[in-house]
Amino acid sequence: MSLALILFFGIGAVLLLGLAWALWEPRERKKLGSDLGSLDECGQRHVDYLPQIRQALAPMDFDFLLKNASRDLQRRVRRERLRVALAYLAAVRGDFQSLLRTAKVIAAMSPEVAAVQELERLRLTAKFTWHYQMIRWKLLAGLAPVPQLDGLSNLVSGLSVRMEVAMKELGEHAAAAAKLASSVNGRGMDAV
C-alpha cells in the first residue's frame, strides 16, 4: 500500500462522511424558520440564576461545614457543589450556543455577510469549545476554583442584553416586511 493510496482513500472517506453529514437532517434539527420563532426565548438566560449559584458555592458555607459537620456530610456537600458547578457551566454553554444561533440567523437574513467576521466567529467558537472542555475536565478532577465561573457569566449576560436589542429590531423589520407583503398581495387581488 503506497502512501498516496492511503492518503487519497482517507481524503475520499472524509469527503463522503462530510457529504453525508452535511446533507443529513436529524428530525429534531431546528430549521431557520423555527429558530426565528425561538428568538424570543433569548431574553431568558441561565445567568439570571447567578446569585443563587453564587450563594450555593459561597466559601463561607463550606468553611462552616468544615468546622461543624461530619466527614460524610462534607463529602456530600463537595459532590453537590461540583454537580452544581458542572450544571451551571453546561447551562452557560447553552446560553453561549443560543446566542451563536441568533448570530447565524442574523447572518442568514442579511443581504451581505462578511467572510472575515464569520471565519473569526468559527475560530472563536472552536476556542471556546476547547477551553470549556478543559475547564470541565479540571472541575471533574477537582482542580477548579469554582467561584471564578462568575467572570464567564458576566460576559455572556452582557452579550445577551445587546442581542435582545438586535432581536427587537429584527422583529420590527420582520413585521414591517410581512405588512408590506400582505399589502402588496391585497393590491394584486384587487386588481384581479
Partner 1 sequence: MASMMRAVQEFWVLGLLGQMIVCGFLFFRGHYRKLPFFTAYIVLNICQAAFLYALYAHFGFGSHGARMLAWWSEAGTLILRSLATAEVLRVVLSPYRGIWGLGWRVLCVAFGLVLSFAAIEAGSNLDWAFVLADRGFHLAFAVALVACLLLVRHYSIPIPSAYKALLAGFCFHSCVVVLANTVGKTLFPRESAHYQPIWQAVTTGTYALVQVVWAVALRKPLPAEEKQQARLPASIYQQISPEINQRLRSLNDRLSKFWEPEVSRH
Chain residues binding partner 1 by CB under 8 A are 2, 4-5, 8-9, 11-12, 15-16, 18-19, 21-23, 25, 29-32, 35, 96, 99, 101, 103-104, 106-115, 117-118, 120-121, 124-125, 127-128, 131-132, 135, 138, 143, 145, 148, 151-152, 155-156, 158-159, 162-163, 166, 169-170, 173-174, 177-178
Residue 57 or 156 with smaller CB distance to partner 1: 156
115-140 and 71-109 helices, crossing angle to 10°: 170
CA angle 48, 129, 29 (to 5 degrees): 80
Residues with Cβ within 8 Å of 100's Cβ and at least 6 positions away in sequence, in order, are 121, 125
Residue 49 or 130 with smaller CB distance to partner 1: 130
CB-CB contact of 62 with 81 (8 Å): yes
Residue 76 or 131 with smaller CB distance to partner 1: 131
Residue 73 or 113 with smaller CB distance to partner 1: 113
Burial of residue 45 (CB within 10 Å: 0-12, 13-18, 19+) is buried
